[in-house]
Amino acid sequence: MKPIYIDYLNALDIDALAMTDGEIIAAVEAGLVAQGKGQTVVEPRVHLEPDPSFHGHFNVLRGYVAPLDTAGVKIVGDYVDNYLHGLPSEFGILNLFDPRTGAPRAILDATVITDMRTGAVTAIGARHLARKNSKVLAHIGARGTAYWNVRLLDYLFDFDEIRVHSRRPESRDGFAARLSADLGKTVTA
């Protein structure tokens, strides 16, 4: 058998790609277009809750995207109390395979990729459904995908005012400060 090489990209590798907001939206939109054209297989997610006392669960997502010639399985753990441990609420791993042979191609840390994808879907949906002259954004929640929701919405709409809210002041204030710095505009907590 010839050797099979599996690429591995950890969180630092994903960050080093320095994907632009435009690249993120374009990639997600291409996937949505492929899905609309029937060029994907997206199976219902499987849900695993190891123990209710852990306040978390795993989602197992499976799919095939013909234009990318790739099949994949993503596992996302969502644990709402992770902030107590200084961890993000969600972690993800994406396994990519050759759809013709099943040979593994890559393993990626999908934590930030998942947040980016969800934020992009939010922004793409708003581009088609929201008023075109929207200038004020209010976002409730500061965990998980919230950062990319706001960042990519602002990329498409260039809001005059952004307001964010979260039940926990420490996450709300830190979230607003990070967005203010990254977007170069005032974000009000």
Query: What distance in Å separates the CA atoms of residue 107 and residue 96, rounded to the nearest whole number?
Result: 6
For residue 46, the SS3 value is strand
Q: Looking at residue 143, what is its pLDDT?
A: 83
Condensed to tens digits (0 to 9), the pLDDT of residues 126-184 reads 999 999 899 999 999 998 789 999 999 999 999 999 999 999 888 899 999 999 999 99
For residue 38, the SS3 value is coil
Q: In Å, what is the CA distance from 101 to each residue of 7, 14, 67, 92, 98?
A: 17, 26, 17, 24, 6
Tokens of 84: 């107590």
Query: What distance in Å separates the CA atoms of residue 136 and residue 36, rounded to the nearest whole number?
Result: 30
Q: Looking at residue 171, what is its pLDDT?
A: 86
Condensed to tens digits (0 to 9), the pLDDT of residues 77-105 reads 999 999 899 999 999 999 999 999 999 99
Query: What distance in Å separates the CA atoms of residue 47 and residue 32, rounded to the nearest whole number?
Result: 23
Q: Which residue has the higher pLDDT, 168 or 57?
A: 57
Q: Looking at residue 170, what is its pLDDT?
A: 82
Mean pLDDT of the chain: 95
Query: What distance in Å separates the CA atoms of residue 187 and residue 151, rounded to the nearest whole number?
Result: 11
- The length of the chain in residues reads 189
Q: What percent of the chain has pLDDT over 90?
A: 92
Strands (E), the chain: 7-9, 40-48, 56-65, 70-79, 90-97, 104-109, 136-140, 161-165, 187-188
For the entire predicted model, the pTM comes to: 0.91
Query: What distance in Å separates the CA atoms of residue 160 and residue 13, rounded to the nearest whole number?
Result: 33
